[in-house]
């Protein structure tokens, strides 16, 4: 459901396997106003879907609807309504102010009635561009059909592109990775069981690992970088530390076993103070209240699990069971721990496609996908974009989770 020629061209190029036909919804978008642009764009996309669904009665299709607004200088910008407004928008961009493009997406499966929503944003910056570029854009008139009053694809404007924080396809109005995840989720069955990773997802323990490991590495003049941390996340302790030693050239300087011994002493105190991540308490209690079976599948060994959860035993007691890293032989990205956790539910393992895995680490996402389960990725904001995009959905926090998007009872 789109009038945008850019979106149509991008969809046909990147989602050819789905086939495509295009419609446009006649709704009053300006009548839908919300404080947060993320909420507003999703609400407008939903309104478009609702307007188009009667025209699709009896058809077995995936209906995709989107909306985009641009945020700049503290205000939300839609399509410029006059040349004066368009000039003002362009003047702000050439003065160095970034244009944050917020995309609301809805995918509706007409066969099952399942509807999933998502939001993606990226920011674009330009170097100062001359008056001739502004006059060219005004004469072309395409900017009057675009939120924010610019076309990132314009050749003359592209010459002054400084950087994009995010992805260019998101700037252009069709975030490919986000849409691919939503299409996967829209055709998946409703989730009936939930598996949680723990470190960095339920508990804020990743900072403790960083502090402890850097303290040890200071002895050798080495830096514990985020790129290295991403390689280690989700793996069993000895495997992860061996990666660190190999990556930093410490082979023969300190063994993985000795590094772990030193780290254990530092972590014992830090783990005892672990706090819940945002949105965890609400989500776990909600799922328990509605009888959704839950379990934890963590690479942490049992001793560390007990240390980390000491302040939250009542909440973790709502889980059906816990599987720790010392109870399996292989670490993530191998799916063994998820298969073992699923097997322990009452009645045996449910159908894999009906299990929803929450993960923060790329290795965990890979393990969940290898298990043929649905995966919701909640990455650290520092995680590189190249290590994202293979899940059924991505959130910046569990506070954003919408259970109904996964076939679970709504809050």
Is residue 26 among the annotated active site residues?
Answer: no
Q: Which of 120, 169, 197, 405 is catalytic?
A: 197
Closest CA to 157 of 94, 79, 87: 94
Query: 262 with 216: CB under 8 angstroms?
Result: yes
Do strands 99-109 and 62-72 pair parallel, antiparallel, or not at all (unpaired)?
antiparallel
CA distance 378 to 401: 10
CA distance 257 to 255: 5
Reported residue count of the chain is: 411
Closest CA to 157 of 175, 139, 134, 173: 134
Give the residue carrying structure tokens 């960095």: 200
CA distance 370 to 285: 28
Q: Which of 67, 120, 199, 334 is catalytic?
A: 199
Do strands 355-359 and 321-323 pair parallel, antiparallel, or not at all (unpaired)?
unpaired
Q: Does the bond joining 333 to the residue before it have cis omega, within 30 degrees of 0? A: yes
Is residue 67 among the annotated active site residues?
Answer: no
Where does 272-377 have alpha helices with state H? 280-289, 302-308, 313-316, 336-343, 362-370
Closest CA to 375 of 386, 364, 387: 364
CA distance 254 to 258: 6
CA distance 230 to 113: 37
DSSP for 228-262 reads HHHHHTTS-HHHHHHHHHHHTT-TTTS-HHHHHHH
Using only C-alpha atoms, what is the Rg of the chain? Answer: 24
Closest CA to 113 of 56, 154, 42, 166: 56
CB atoms within 10 A of CB 90: 24
Is the four-CA dihedral 130, 134, 140, 143 of positive or negative sign? Answer: positive
Query: 205 with 212: CB under 8 angstroms?
Result: no
Question: Which residues are catalytically annotated?
Answer: 197, 199
């Amino acid at each position: 459901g789109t009038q945008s020629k850019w979106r149509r061209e991008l969809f046909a190029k990147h989602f050819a396997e789905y086939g495509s036909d295009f419609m446009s919804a006649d709704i009053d978008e300006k009548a839908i106003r919300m404080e947060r642009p993320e909420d507003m764009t999703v609400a407008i996309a939903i309104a478009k879907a609702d307007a188009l669904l009667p025209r699709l009665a009896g058809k077995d299709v995936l209906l995709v609807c989107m909306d985009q607004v641009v945020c700049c200088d503290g205000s939300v910008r839609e399509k410029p309504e006059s040349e004066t407004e368009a000039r003002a928008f362009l003047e702000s961009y050439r003065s160095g102010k970034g244009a944050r493009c917020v995309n609301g997406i809805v995918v509706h499966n007409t066969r099952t009635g399942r509807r999933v929503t998502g939001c993606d944003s990226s920011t674009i910056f330009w170097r100062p561009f001359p008056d001739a570029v502004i006059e060219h854009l005004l004469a072309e008139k395409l900017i009057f059909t675009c939120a924010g009053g610019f076309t990132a694809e314009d050749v003359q404007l592209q010459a002054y592109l400084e950087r994009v924080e995010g992805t260019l396809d998101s700037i252009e109005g069709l975030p490919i990775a986000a849409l691919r995840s939503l299409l996967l989720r829209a055709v998946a069955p409703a989730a009936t069981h939930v598996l949680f990773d723990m470190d960095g997802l339920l508990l804020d323990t990743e900072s403790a690992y960083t502090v402890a490991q850097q303290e040890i590495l200071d002895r050798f003049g080495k830096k514990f970088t985020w790129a290295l941390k991403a390689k280690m996340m989700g793996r069993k302790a000895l495997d992860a530390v061996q990666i660190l030693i190999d990556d930093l050239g410490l082979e023969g300087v300190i063994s993985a076993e000795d590094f772990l011994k030193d780290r254990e002493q530092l972590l014992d105190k830090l783990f005892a103070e672990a706090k819940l991540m945002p949105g965890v308490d609400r989500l776990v209690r909600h799922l328990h209240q509605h009888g959704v079976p839950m379990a934890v599948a963590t690479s942490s060994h049992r001793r560390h699990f007990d240390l980390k959860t000491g302040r939250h035993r009542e909440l973790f007691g709502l889980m059906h069971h816990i599987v720790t890293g010392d109870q399996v032989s292989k670490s993530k990205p191998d799916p063994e721990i998820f298969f073992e956790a699923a097997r322990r539910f009452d009645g045996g393992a449910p159908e894999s496609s009906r299990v929803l895995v929450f993960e923060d680490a790329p290795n965990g996402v890979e393990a969940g996908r290898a298990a043929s389960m649905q995966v919701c990725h909640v990455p650290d904001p520092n995680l590189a974009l190249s290590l994202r995009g293979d899940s059924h959905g991505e959130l910046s926090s569990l506070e954003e989770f919408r259970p109904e998007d996964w076939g679970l009872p709504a809050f």
